[in-house]
Structure 1
Amino acid sequence: MKTYSIILCAFLAISGSVYGQDKAVQQKKEAVHIYDPKANADADLNAAIKKAKAEKKNVFVQVGGNWCVWCIAFHNMVNANPELKGYLDSHFEKVLVNYSPENKNEAVMARLKYPGRFGFPVFVILNGEGEVLHIENSAYLEEGKGHSVKKVTDFLKNWTYAAVDPATYKK
């Protein structure tokens, strides 16, 4: 009986410790607020499309969630690199679209041609008419243990307004 009591006490101690760690991890995840599950993604897209058309830009849509470590890592990488952030800001209208259990944005996902099939984060390039030009699996932009600034920059350069405008290539 004494052995069972010791085993039961050890089990309860370990369970409590694991529960405490899980709670701390959950609180840390909840502390990240890059994506807004309450945002009106459709309205955000429409505003970005309208602005992109007026400014002769394309729209860079980043789909992900606060639960996604790769989404957070990508966001942090862009913000930590002034050249990349500047390039993105000057050549694209940017929209963050939340995908999470509390808001899957199903209508927007359909509008964007279901980009989540590639995992998260996933990037969608729209033109000034709101047409999907490209969906990029962000795994292709990784190198080593994270996203590559060079690969992301090269990707963006290939999807600017000028890069996809046929007039750019006429003599």
Structure 2
Amino acid sequence: MRHLREIIVFAAVMLALAGCGEPPAPPPPPAAGPYPEGADARAAIAVGLQRARESGKRVLLKFGANWCPDCLALEQSFTGDGPTGELIRANFEVVKIDVGRWDVNMDVAADYDEAASNGIPSIAVLDSEGKLLHVTKARELASARGMSEDNIHEWFGDLLKQLDG
């Protein structure tokens, strides 16, 4: 009986010591999304305009948020290897503008005919001098996650025809 008590005490001490090791590592930070939170949107637009002057392209301001599934779906089309990604890269300098939960950069959206006031994702297209050429006002892209790649490509193809017409 005495040995059983010693074994139990020894086991309890060992278990207590096992819990005294290094604290667990903190979880990794969440992955950053495509919309740069905390970025200076006006400075990003200035860089986009400069790139547009150098490349001869237009500037596409893309208003959205990292929590928005439609914004993420549109981003996937823009950055993918498919026809939409190729169309966007060939014709636009893209500037992504985070609107948070409609609590950041809304003043920037206001500068472009309230670009994000009717929902996100929304876009504004500028010429290389900053003149507003087009803005989505009727939630045209607000259901991007339900749009096929072909639908998105067709929408931007039609927009380019309108801008070039």
Q: Same fold (TM over 0.5)?
A: yes
Larger Rg computed on CA atoms: 2
Alignment of 1:1-171 (within 5 A): 31-101=31-101, 104-136=104-136, 139-141=139-141, 146-160=146-160, 164-165=163-164
TM-fit CA distance, 1:40: 0.9
Give a deviation string over 1:73-115, Cα, whole Å, max 9, x none.
2212333443211211111000100001495113311212211
SS in 2 for 1:33: coil
Q: Structure 1 residues 66, 157: CA separation in 2 closer, same or farther (over 3 Å shift)?
A: same
Q: Work out the CA distance in 2 between the residues paired with 1:144 and 1:53.
A: 29
SS in 1 for 2:136: strand
Give a deviation string over 1:43-95, Cα, whole Å, max 9, x none.
11111112212322111111010121111122123334432112111110001
5+ residue gaps, structure 2, are 1-26
Q: Work out the CA distance in 2 between the residues paired with 1:68 and 1:144.
A: 10
| Alignment TM-score, normalising by the size of structure 1 | 0.66
Match in the other structure for 2:8:
none
SS in 1 for 2:78: helix
Structural RMSD (CA): 2.9
Matched pairs, number: 137
SS in 2 for 1:115: coil
Q: Which amino acid aligns with 2:41?
A: A
Q: Percent identity?
A: 23
1:122/1:138 contact within 8 Å kept: no
Q: Work out the CA distance in 2 between the residues paired with 1:100 and 1:143.
A: 18
Q: Which amino acid aligns with 2:123?
A: F
Q: Which amino acid aligns with 1:99?
A: V
